[in-house]
Chain A
Amino acid sequence: MKSSLSKLRKRSHCRRILVISTHAFTQLARMKVFYFLAIFAGITLASNFFDLPQHAGPEAVGANVLSSIKSWSLGAMTLFSVVLSVVATALLLPKDVEDRTLYTILAKPVPRIDYLAGKLLGVLLLVFVSLALMDLLMVLALQIRTSMVVAEQAAMASAMGYTPDALASLRAETLANGPNGSLQGAVLVVFFRAAIMASLALLISTFSTSTLFTTIVSFAVYFIGHFQADARDFYLQAGQAGQGGFSRFASLAVSLVLPDFQLFNVIDAVIEGQALPWLMLGKIAFVGVYYALFFTLASWFIFADKEF
């Protein structure tokens, strides 16, 4: 005999993942992680005062301060998002095992992949919301400051007798350093890097029982990820030893498993006022999704047979 409730149950992977992810988000949010936004606001405000002295001329007025706001803000976003994604993910699984709450969840009809995906999405949701709030603060600061710089430049250029064309060109150049689509693309790049780090921390935490170990190993991989492309190229070009089939295969294998974080350095170009091509953003999105899926599936492979 089935109970009356069992007939009415709505079950799907998506639904369960959503329940676990919103719960993980709530759990982390109630750990007061959003307090770091106050620090970010402080950094954004402080970056307004980094206007280095320049040679005379309207082009130089306020040029540094706009780059400074973007540089400090995107730097802080990278730091917060990577730390948050690694530490939060490293914390969630061992804590559930230690408190035995994992038993109560897995004793329900919850597939282990749903549990893992839910936890990861919860962290990603938290990172996304955090980045969105930081982005809002950055755009606000940058918008106000860009308007001030444009007005200041226009006044100085008019006084110096600039032609209307030169004025328009100067204005366009300054606005390129203000809030625009490329800047939003750069924030997305920060998010994809954090997504890779969160899924990597998830993988490590499936076989590690300590938050500290997961955090240290994740940051070690992050560090290696910034140099692995250089090291690989150097090895492949270093004489005949690097030209063999095995070396090329090993190099490919390393690329498939370890992300090349140098790809994400496009943010630096955006800070300098260059546009972020859609194709590059698409490539970074693909790389982000690939590694996030790869690490999550590897986590599942280990977690599916894990005994508690």
Chain B
Amino acid sequence: MAETTPAVEICNLVKDFRTSFRGRPLRAVDGVSIRILPGEVYGLIGPNGSGKSTTMKALLGLLVPTAGQCAIFGKDSLRVDSRDDVGFLPENPYFYKHLSGVETLRFYGKLCGLAGRQLKDRVNELLALVGLEDARDRRLGGYSKGMLQRIGLAQALVQDPRLVILDEPTAGVDPVGSRQIRDLIFKLRERGITVFLCSHLLEQVQEVCDQVGIIFQGRMIREGRLDDLIAIEDQTEIVLRDARPDLVAQISVLVAETPGTTLVRTGKPRTTLERLFLREIREEQR
């Protein structure tokens, strides 16, 4: 039976911060409501300082809402047990430089109550998942930015949570590392894990998310299914492979003869700069 309790339920969240002793409070989040069902990948996008991280911190109980409620699988976020099923990767995490990859995962695993064989197996499984088996015994002080993000993602997954919250998961990571993290998010989605990520990298969100919310100056200004939000309803796209020029001409004529229809554009679709970069790197490595 499909689970009906939302993985995340944020109702009219308001968060004010005091700016100075007698100054007016700064409203960082203003009446934001978000509902994420189990298994969905939700992207919260917005410019810097729009309230994305504040919303996430309130959901994790790191901040107390000025008004409104946050719940994770039906449990109030201010309760410690609401974090039983959550994994969190903060923006630009540093972790403990004196620990190796294995020690880091063991530490977080033990905090979640894992022990013995079960912990050992889970650590090995996660190191394989994030591709850090070769660097397992290296101290985190020697990890690259991308490796730190991946070990961060592994620690977020250590107790096999049903919800993973990622705050700017690819910030400062090169395109190869960024692709690896996106592939990991795809893997999480395949395993039915709910993902709540925030980013200001729109292409990344477009690629991985089912649902999107746009937050600006603390207010949710648009929300819905990604396909619905970005589809241009009055246009249809046909992409042909190896089409001869005369075929394209015939199609253009056919369209021109059809009343009420306009040919907007023909030409070659373009790849993204990121895909070009990754392809060139891969070819160079061969």
Contact = CB atoms under 8 A, between A and B. Distances in A.
A101 B96 contact: yes
Contacts of A99: 93-96
A123 to B, nearest CB: 16
Interface stretch (B42-50, B110-118, B236-244, B259-267): B110-118
B111 A8 contact: no
A4 B95 contact: no
Nearest to B62: A308
Interface string A151-192: 000000000000000000000000000000000000000000
A87 to B, nearest CB: 17
Contacts of B165: 107
Contacts of B114: 5, 8-9
Interface size of B as a range: 35 or more
A81 B60 CA distance: 37
Contact of A106 (B61, B94, B118): B61
Nearest to B64: A307
Interface stretch (B83-91, B219-227, B247-255, B271-279): B83-91
B266 to A, nearest CB: 50
Contacts of B118: 5, 8
Interface in B151-180: 152, 155-156, 159-162, 165
A302 interface: no
Contacts of B115: 10
Contacts, number: 106
Interface in A237-262: none
Given A101-B95, A104-B108, A109 B83 contact: yes
Contacts of A31: 98
A31 B111 CA distance: 23
A23 interface: yes
A20 interface: yes
B194 to A, nearest CB: 12
B183 interface: no
Interface of B: 3, 57, 60-64, 80-81, 83-96, 98-99, 107-108, 110-115, 118, 122, 152, 155-156, 159-162, 165
Interface of A: 1, 3-6, 8-11, 15-16, 19-20, 23, 26-27, 30-31, 99-101, 103-111, 305, 307-308
